[in-house]
Amino acid sequence: MEPANYTRVTEFVLTGLSQTREVQLVLFVIFLSFYLFILPGNILIICTIRLDPHLTSPMYFLLANLAFLDIWYSSITAPKMLIDFFVERKRISFGGCIAQLFFLHFVGASEMFLLTVMAFDRYAAICRPLHYATIMNRRLCSILVVLSWLGGFIHSIIQVALIVRLPFCGPNELDSYFCDITQVIRIACANTFPEELVMIFSSGLISVVCFIALLMSYAFLLAMLKKHSGSDESTSRAMSTCYSHITIVVFMFGPSIYIYARPFDSFSLDKVVSVFHTVIFPLLNPIIYTLRNKEVKTAMRKLVNRYILCKEK
C-alpha cells in the first residue's frame, strides 16, 4: 500500500566506497588510472578497426561496437564517483538517479545481447566457413546490433517503470556510489515484493539463461575446433578468439548474476562486485582483445606508427 500522505524524496545521498579521507584519495588515483586507460584503449580499438582495411570481417565490426558500449558503460558511473571522492556529502537528484539507472541497464543489457550476437558470429565462422560472408553480411550485422540496442532499451524501460511508480518518503541514503535498482528499491515506502520479483526475472534470470547458453555455445565450438583441428594457424586463431570471448562473458555475466539473480538484500561483497562490474570490467575488453588477437595488435602498431610517430618525425 502506498502511504496517503508523504513528502516525496527529491534527492538521494550516496555513502560512497569509504568515509576515510586517505582511503578515498588512494581509490581516486586507482580508479582515475582505470578510467584513463579504458577511454584511450577502447577508442584505439574503434579507430584501428575503422581505419585498417584488413579488419573488415563482421567480428571486428561487432568488436568496435562492444568497445563503444564499454566507453559508454564506464562513463555512466565513473566520472561522478571520481568527483564524489572530494565531496563530503555525496548527493544525486531523483531525476539524476533515475537517468543513471536507466543508462546503466540500457548499455549493460545491450552489451549482453551483443555478446550473444558475437557468439552467433563465431558459430557461423567456425561451422559454416564457406557461407560465413553470406550469412554475416554487413546488413545483418547492423540489424543485429540495432536489435541488441533495442533489447537493452526495452529492458531498461521496464526497470525504470517499476522504480518511478514507487513512493519514496522516508530514508534517502543509498549504500553505494551510484544508483541501481538493488539499492533504490530497498528504501521505497511500500511493499516492493512484486516489483523485486519482476526485476529478478527480467535482470537476473535473463543473465543466467544467456550466460549458460553462451558457455554451452562456446564449449560446442571449442569441441568442434579440437575435433577437426590440426596445427594450422587459422584453427589456433579461432580457438584464441573463442577463449577471449569466453573470458569477456564470464567477467560480464558473473557479477551481473551475483547482483540481480537473488533477493535484493545487502551483503558485504556488494560494493566490491559493483566496482568490478562498472569500473574494472570495461577495462578488460581492450586488454583481452589486444593481448590475444595478433591481427588487432599488428593493426594498432601500424596505426600508431602512421599517425603518431610519423607526425613526431
Q: What is the pLDDT of residues 180-199, one digit of tens each?
A: 999 999 899 888 989 999 99
Q: What is the pLDDT of residues 139-154, one digit of tens each?
A: 999 999 999 999 999 9
Distance between CA atoms of 198 and 176, rounded to whole angstroms? 22
- Burial of residue 307, with CB atoms counted within 10 A of its CB: 0-12 exposed, 13-18 middle, 19 or more buried: exposed
* Secondary structure string (H, E, C) spanning the chain: CCCCCCCCCCEEEECCCCCCHHHHHHHHHHHHHHHHHHHHHHHHHHHHHHHCCCCCCHHHHHHHHHHHHHHHHHHHHHHHHHHHCCCCCEEEEHHHHHHHHHHHHHHHHHHHHHHHHHHHHHHHHHHCHHHHHHHCCHHHHHHHHHHHHHHHHHHHHHHHHHHHCCCCCCCCEECCCCCCHHHHHHHCCCCCHHHHHHHHHHHHHHHHHHHHHHHHHHHHHHHHHHHCCCCCHHHHHHHHHHHHHHHHHHHHHHHHHHHHCCCCCCCCCHHHHHHHHHHHHHHHHHHHHHHHCHHHHHHHHHHHHHHHHHHHC
Instruction: Specify the pLDDT at position 259.
Output: 92
- Torsion, Cα of 214, 219, 221, 226 (10° steps): 160
Which residues, in sequence order, are bridge partners of residue 92?
A: 12
Q: What is the pLDDT of residues 97-155, one digit of tens each?
A: 999 999 999 999 999 999 999 999 999 999 998 899 899 999 999 999 999 999 999 99
Window from 152-161, 166-175, 279-288 with minimum mean pLDDT: 279-288
pLDDT band for position 1 (50/70/90)?
A: very low
Q: Please report, for residues 25, 41, 238, 306, the alpha-carbon distance to residue 52 in angstroms, rounded to integers and kept in the order given.
A: 40, 16, 20, 11
Q: What is the pLDDT of residues 270-296, one digit of tens each?
A: 999 999 888 888 877 777 777 677 788
Residues 110, 149 contacting (CB under 8 angstroms): yes
| pLDDT mean across residues, the chain | 88
pLDDT band for position 2 (50/70/90)?
A: very low
Instruction: Judge if pTM exceeds 0.85.
Output: yes
